[in-house]
Structure 1
Amino acid sequence: MTDDRITAALTEAIATACRVMAAGGLVEHVLGHISARAGDHHLLVRCRGPREAGLSRTRPEDIKLVPIQGPAGDLDGWTPPNELPIHTGVLRRRPEVTAVAHAHPPAVVTHSLLDEPLLPVYGAYDIPGARMAAGGIPVWSRSALVTTDELAGAMAEAMGDRPVVVLRGHGVVSAAGGDDPVAAVRTAVLQAFALDTLARVTLAVRQAGGTPRAIGDDDLAGLPDLGGGFNVETMWRHLLTRLPAAD
C-alpha cells in the first residue's frame, strides 16, 4: 500500500474513531481528540474546522497532518486542538506508541475526584478492563488544560509505560502501539471505553452502599486472553453499529 493510501486509511480511521467516542458518551459536544503517528516527524490529529460541529460530526477533512515538534503551520482554516501537547508529548516520549486518544468520560472524571484507585472489581465481565486495572491505573493530579510541553511532560511522567492515565477532574489519555496504526487508533479508544465501564461500575457499587474491592489473584490469573480479533475487531464492529446513520 502506498504512503498516500496509508494516510487516507488512517485519516478515515481517526475520523470514524472520533464519531465512535461521541456516540459512546466518552466525549461531549466539541471536546476530545485522537491522533496517530504518521512517520518519524508528523502525526495526524483531529483539528477544529471552520464549521465546527463537535466530534459526532467529524469528517476526514478535519484530520490534519502536523509536526510532532514545532508549530502546526497553515492548516487552511483548521486549527489544532489546544491540547495538542498531550499527543506530541506522549509520542515524543514513547516511541512504541502509535495512537493517542483524549476523552472526557463523565464517570471517569467523577471517580477521579474521590482520590481513590480504580480496582479490578470484576473479571470476566470485561477482561481487558480487569487486566488494565490489575496493572494499575495512574492518575495525574493536575486538572489543568494541557497546553504546554511542560504540562504534557508531567502528565506523560505520571502515565509512565501504562496504556492510560486519568487526569484528575479532567478526563483520560489512552495510548496504544503496534505495527498497524489503524488498529492502534481503535485500541486507544477501546481502552478508554474499558476505563469508562470500570468507573461506572465502581461508582454504582458506591451509590448502592457497597465498598469496591478487587477480585482475587486466582480469578485474575485465570482470565483468558481472547486476542485482538475479539477484543478489538469484534468490539469495533459492534461500536460502529451504534453510530447514527449518515445525513
Structure 2
Amino acid sequence: MKFPDKVVVACRVLAHQGLARDVLGHVSLRTPGGMLIRCRGPRERGLLYTSAEDIHEVPLDGPYDLPGGYKVPAELPIHAETLRRHPGVNAVVHAHPPALVAADLAGVPLLPIVGAYDIPTMRLVRDGVPVYPRAVLIRRADLAAEMLEAMGDRPVCVLRGHGVTVTGTTLAQAVTRAVGLEHLARLSLDVVRAGGTLRPLPEADLAELPDLGAALNEEAIWRYLEGRSGA
C-alpha cells in the first residue's frame, strides 16, 4: 500500500470507528520533504469519505500552495510542531472522539481498568493521560507549543472540549492508539452510568500481562479496522 493510501485508510477508519463526528479531524504521516496530510477540498465530505485526492505532501514550514482549490487544515500546526519537535514521531492523528471528550468534561479519568481485554490501551494509560485545558482551535505555532507542553513525553493528549492528539512511530500505531482510547472512554462512561467505580488493576495483575508486540497489537488490529471499515 502506498503512503498516501495509508493516510486515506487511516482517515476512513477513524470516522468508521466514531472518532470523527462530521468533517472535522485530520491525519498526517512524516515524509522526507515534510508530511502527507489530509487537506480540505472544494467538496469537503469529511474523514469517512477521504480519497487519495485529499492527501497532499506539504513542508513543515510552508508555503502551502495546493492545486484544485485544496487548503491545508486550519490546525496544521498540531502536526507540524509535533513532527518538528519529536523526530521519533512519524504519524499524528487529530480527531474529535465524543466519548473521550465527554469523559474528560465529566471528570471521568482514563485508568488501566482493563487488562487482557485490551493490553495496548492499558499500557498507554497506565502512566496517565495529559490534558490540554484550552478548547481552542490550534491554528498557531504558539498554541501547538502549549499543547505539546501539556503533552510532555506522552504519545497522547486530550484537548478539553475539543478532541485528542495521538502520535505514533507508525500510522498503524497512532490510529490503533486513538481507537483504543475512545473504546476505553466508552467503557469507563458505561461503568460510571451503571453506578460502578473505576478501579485501576492491581500492579500484580498488570505485571502478568505480556507485550504481544507490534505485529499483533498494531498491524493485525490495523488490518482488522481497515477490513471492517471497507476502506
TM category (shorter chain) comes to over 0.9
Partner SS state of residue 10, structure 2: helix
- Which residue number in structure 2 is paired with residue 84 of structure 1? 76
Aligned partner (choices 102, 110, 113) of residue 118 of structure 1 = 110
1:149 is displaced (CA, Å) by 0.6
AA of the residue aligned to 1:29: D
Residue 223 of structure 1 pairs with residue 215 of structure 2? no
Deviates more, 1:231-240 or 1:17-26: 231-240
Whole-Å Cα distance in 1 between the matches of residues 28 and 122 of structure 2?
A: 25
- Which residue number in structure 1 is paired with residue 11 of structure 2? 18
5 Å-filtered alignment, 1:1-247, equals 9-39=2-32, 41-177=33-169, 184-244=170-230
Moved over 4 A (4+): none
Identity, in percent, stands at 50
Whole-Å Cα distance in 2 between the matches of residues 119 and 243 of structure 1?
A: 28
Unaligned segments of structure 1, at least 5 residues: 1-7, 178-183
1:191 is displaced (CA, Å) by 0.4
1:142 is displaced (CA, Å) by 0.9
AA of the residue aligned to 2:220: T
C-alpha contact (below 8 Å) 2:108/2:189 kept by paired residues: no
1:117 is displaced (CA, Å) by 3.1
Give me the TM-score of the superposition, normalised by structure 1: 0.90
C-alpha contact (below 8 Å) 2:108/2:188 kept by paired residues: no
C-alpha contact (below 8 Å) 2:93/2:165 kept by paired residues: yes
C-alpha contact (below 8 Å) 1:123/1:130 kept by paired residues: yes
1:116 is displaced (CA, Å) by 4.7
Q: 1:22 to 1:236 in 2, by over 3 A?
A: same
1:57 is displaced (CA, Å) by 1.0
Whole-Å Cα distance in 1 between the matches of residues 217 and 189 of structure 2?
A: 24
Superposed CA RMSD: 1.4
1:50 is displaced (CA, Å) by 1.9
Partner SS state of residue 153, structure 2: coil
Whole-Å Cα distance in 2 between the matches of residues 145 and 166 of structure 1?
A: 13
